[in-house]
């Protein structure tokens, strides 16, 4: 089975890093993964996205064709990609950044929760926790090991804490 | 490369199983091939390679220099290589344009070196963060005059590493610049890779003179068409010039015979080995009526399309060129005899297309499928083109 994940938002939200962590965690789970990224020339603020494909077989086409999971962290990203999701796919949004209209989404306040933790930049780790718990695309253990290895040393504990808060969100989410 | 040196490289990389970018893999491949000199100028989407080299080269006893521009970068790697050190630079379109003059110099003076071009969308500064395959003809004809080049195209991160090693081997063996023509999509893509074990991959080293310095004639091949190369600083004298030169290296600029012999040898030392240099990968070509001919990242969409159409019973196959230069003419000619139609998807408006057309002759229909603007072909693009062919 080929699982297609698209994480889209703007530069500075850790969209590319989130994709990298997912792909690496999938490899740790013993699966195949490809991660691609796309962003503008700006270092922050421009549209950014990361795509991750996870499969048990060799992955030919390295891009999302129709997403199983869309994470939209900006209105622009939501408007652009919400149609390119499978009918049984999931759309995860940050409810404070995206107005989903009538669409069915899993809406969580990732950025606000990160603010409460004292560092807005860990919103992506909270999002990953929620994504992992809600979809099971990678194991919790692999993701925790990956976070430990990949994030800057002085932020490991903070990111793990953020990831766990994300995990706990699952099941408590307001779905609309 | 000794086992100790190999171990140092692996220690510097960290581990042997990685989830890495193409850009990182070029650097790892270079270090595993024994590259110990890098000069470059950062440019999207190739900067990560320079970044990795700047971190790792000092740890394995190598030298990294950030130059003032790409002209100087190319000059620096030529100089380092002449001193006997395997050398590389990495760039993208705008930098590759600047390097062309010195690439010609390296061809004329037969200096082994590797240039990685992580192609982005041009012309000019174009779309800096977007991939393309727009430099494929520039790779062949970007510098002036007659010369031959070797260029390989990877389509995965593992192959990015493996082919970088191969680029070094070929440049050492043929005494010529060798290009890894990759693109921003492969460069920024991450996949699982394995660092090959010591002894698991082959390494070639340039042939050095066996005669004493007083008998050494720097541009006179003892056998074949590739002369032996003496390291600068090793006691051998080599006069080096971009001017047409005699076997002793001294300029001779008004003798048609000297020029013809030299330039013919420079070209034939590569073109004579076209078949040996040809590397391709075939998918379902045996009974194919329509073939896709592609290279690099485009092949990943092509494979998906072929497998999907095969499941519908359509007799379609794919020939992926790993060696693009020298162009595998004979192979394409034979393919033209077997299939009725050939589709050439490229992330440019049609470059290798012309070589395919030239090789297959008039009886086979060849169609282009261009995709520019920084977005790679989707499998659906290729499926639709094949169905409406």
Residue A41 has what pLDDT? 77
CA distances B337 to B289, B294, B330, B359, B389, Å, are 11, 18, 11, 11, 18
Here the ipTM equals 0.94
A interface test, pick of B19, B292, B311, B377 with most A CB neighbours within 10 Å: B19
Token pair belonging to A121: 């930049």
Closest CA to A82 of A108, A101, A61: A101
d(CA B136, CA B122): 12
Put simply, the answer to whether A33 touches B303 (Cβ < 8 Å) is no
Closest chain A CA to residue B298 = A61
Put simply, the answer to whether A63 touches B376 (Cβ < 8 Å) is yes
Closest CA to B45 of B156, B166, B189: B189
Q: Return the residue matching tokens 């048990």.
A: A56
Closest chain A CA to residue B157 = A34
CA distance B188 to chain A (A): 6
3-state secondary structure of A92: strand
Judge residue B210's burial from the number of C-beta atoms within 10 Å of its C-beta, 0-12 exposed, 13-18 middle, 19 or more buried: exposed
Put simply, the answer to whether B189 touches A34 (Cβ < 8 Å) is yes
pLDDT score of A88 more than 80:
yes
d(CA B354, CA B194): 36
Closest chain A CA to residue B130 = A38
Identify which of B17, B129, B189 has the shortest CB distance to residue A36: B189
Phi, psi of B365 (to 5 degrees): -80, 130
d(CA B64, CA B276): 33
d(CA A44, CA B282): 42
* B280 bridge partner residues: B321
Identify which of B192, B378, B380 has the shortest CB distance to residue A33: B192
pLDDT score of A175 more than 70:
no
- For strand B113-121 and strand B177-183, is the pairing parallel, antiparallel, or unpaired? parallel
Which spans in chain B are helix H? 3-13, 22-33, 47-56, 70-82, 93-109, 136-141, 157-174, 184-188, 256-271, 274-277, 298-310, 329-338, 352-360, 379-387
Put simply, the answer to whether B190 touches A36 (Cβ < 8 Å) is yes
Count CB neighbours of A80 within 10 A.
14
3-state secondary structure of A20: helix
Closest CA to B149 of B295, B30, B327: B327
List of chain A residues whose C-beta atoms are within 8 Å of the C-beta of residue B183: none
The stretch A122-144 carries a mean pLDDT of 97
pTM of the entire predicted model: 0.96
CA distance B245 to chain A (A): 46
Closest CA to A51 of A28, A30, A22, A93: A22
Those residues with Cβ within 8 angstroms of residue A63's Cβ, 6 or more apart along the chain or in another chain: A36, A51, A53, B376, B378
d(CA B15, CA B10): 6
Q: Does the CB of A60 have a partner CB in chain B at under 8 Å?
A: yes
List of chain B residues whose C-beta atoms are within 8 Å of the C-beta of residue A39: 129
pLDDT score of A176 more than 50:
no
CA distances B87 to A67, A91, B114, B150, Å, are 42, 48, 7, 16
Q: Does the CB of B308 have a partner CB in chain A at under 8 Å?
A: no
| pLDDT, chain A, mean | 94
Q: pLDDT truncated to tens, each residue of chain B (389 aa)?
A: 999 999 999 999 999 999 999 999 999 999 999 999 999 999 999 999 999 999 999 999 999 999 999 999 999 999 999 999 999 999 999 999 999 999 999 999 999 999 999 999 999 999 999 999 999 999 999 999 999 999 999 999 999 999 999 999 999 999 999 999 999 999 999 999 999 999 999 999 999 999 999 999 999 998 899 999 999 999 999 999 999 999 999 999 999 999 999 999 999 999 999 999 999 999 999 999 999 999 999 999 999 999 999 999 999 999 999 999 999 999 999 999 999 999 999 999 999 999 999 999 888 999 999 999 999 999 999 999 999 98
> Do the Cβ atoms of B295 and B325 come closer than 8 Å?
no
Residue A40 has what pLDDT? 80
DSSP assignment string, B104-147? HHHHHHT--EEEEEEEEE-STT-EEEEE--TTHHHHHHSSSSS-
Closest CA to B346 of B298, B385, B283, B303: B298
Q: Does the CB of B373 have a partner CB in chain A at under 8 Å?
A: no
Those residues with Cβ within 8 angstroms of residue B99's Cβ, 6 or more apart along the chain or in another chain: B70, B71, B73, B74, B89, B91, B115
Dihedral, B235, B240, B244, B245 alpha carbons, nearest 10: -10
How is residue B286 annotated by DSSP?
T
- B170's torsion region: left (phi>0), alpha (psi -120 to 50) or beta? alpha
3-state secondary structure of A93: strand
Task: Say what angle helices B352-360 and B329-338 make with each other, to 10 degrees.
Answer: 60
* A3 bridge partner residues: A54
Identify which of B19, B300, B376 has the shortest CB distance to residue A33: B19
d(CA B92, CA B108): 23
Residue A42 has what pLDDT? 74
Rounded to 5°, the CA angle B110-B115-B116 comes to 160
A139-168 pLDDT per residue, tens: 999 999 999 999 999 999 999 999 999 999
């Amino acid at each position: 089975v080929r699982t297609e994940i698209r994480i889209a938002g703007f530069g500075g939200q850790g969209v590319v890093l989130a994709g990298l962590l997912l792909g690496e965690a999938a490899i740790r789970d013993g699966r195949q993964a490809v991660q691609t990224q796309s962003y503008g020339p700006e270092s922050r603020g421009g549209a950014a996205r990361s795509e991750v494909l996870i499969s048990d077989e060799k992955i030919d086409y390295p891009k999302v064709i129709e997403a199983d999971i869309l994470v939209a962290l900006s209105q622009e990203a939501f408007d652009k990609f919400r149609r390119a999701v499978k009918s049984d796919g999931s759309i995860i949004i940050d409810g404070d950044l995206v107005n989903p209209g009538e669409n069915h989404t899993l809406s969580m306040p990732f950025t606000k929760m990160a603010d409460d933790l004292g560092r807005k930049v860990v919103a992506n780790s909270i999002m990953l926790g929620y994504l992992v718990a809600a979809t099971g695309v990678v194991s919790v253990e692999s993701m925790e090991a990956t976070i430990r290895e990949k994030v800057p040393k002085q932020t490991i504990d903070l990111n793990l804490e953020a990831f766990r808060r994300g995990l706990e969100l699952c099941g408590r989410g307001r779905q609309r | 490369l000794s086992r100790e040196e190999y171990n140092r490289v692996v220690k510097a990389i960290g581990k042997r199983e990685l989830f890495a970018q193409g850009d990182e893999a070029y650097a790892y491949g270079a270090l595993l091939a024994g590259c110990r000199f890098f000069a470059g100028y950062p440019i999207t989407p190739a900067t990560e390679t320079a970044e990795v080299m700047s971190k790792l080269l000092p740890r394995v006893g190598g030298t990294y220099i950030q130059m003032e521009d790409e002209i100087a970068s190319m000059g620096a790697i030529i100089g380092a290589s002449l001193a006997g050190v395997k050398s590389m630079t990495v760039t993208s379109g705008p930098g590759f344009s600047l390097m062309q003059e010195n690439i010609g110099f390296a061809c004329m003076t037969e200096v082994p070196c590797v240039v990685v071009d992580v192609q982005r969308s041009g012309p000019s500064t174009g779309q800096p963060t977007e991939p393309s395959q727009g430099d494929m003809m520039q790779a062949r004809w970007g510098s002036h005059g007659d010369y031959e080049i070797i260029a390989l195209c990877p389509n995965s991160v593992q192959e990015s590493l493996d082919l970088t090693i191969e680029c070094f081997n070929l440049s050492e063996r043929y005494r010529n610049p060798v290009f890894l023509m990759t693109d921003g999509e492969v460069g920024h893509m991450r996949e699982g890779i394995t660092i090959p074990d010591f002894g698991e991959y082959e390494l070639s080293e340039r042939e050095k003179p066996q005669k004493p310095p007083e008998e050494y004639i720097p541009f006179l091949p003892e056998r074949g068409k590739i002369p032996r190369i003496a390291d600068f600083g090793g006691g051998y004298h080599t006069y080096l010039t971009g001017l047409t030169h005699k076997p002793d290296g001294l300029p001779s600029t008004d003798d048609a015979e000297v020029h013809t012999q030299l330039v013919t040898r420079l070209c034939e030392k590569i073109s004579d080995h076209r078949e040996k240099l040809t590397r391709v990968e075939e998918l379902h070509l045996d009974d194919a009526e329509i073939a896709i001919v592609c290279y690099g990242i485009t092949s990943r969409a092509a494979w998906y399309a072929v497998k999907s159409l095969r499941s519908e019973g359509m007799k379609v196959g794919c020939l992926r060129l790993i060696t693009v230069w020298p162009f595998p003419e004979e192979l394409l000619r034979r393919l033209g005899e077997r299939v009725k139609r050939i589709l050439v998807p490229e992330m440019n408006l049609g470059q290798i297309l012309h070589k395919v057309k030239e090789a297959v002759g008039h009886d086979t229909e060849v169609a282009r499928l261009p995709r520019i603007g920084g977005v790679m072909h989707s499998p659906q693009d290729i499926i639709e083109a094949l169905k409406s062919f």
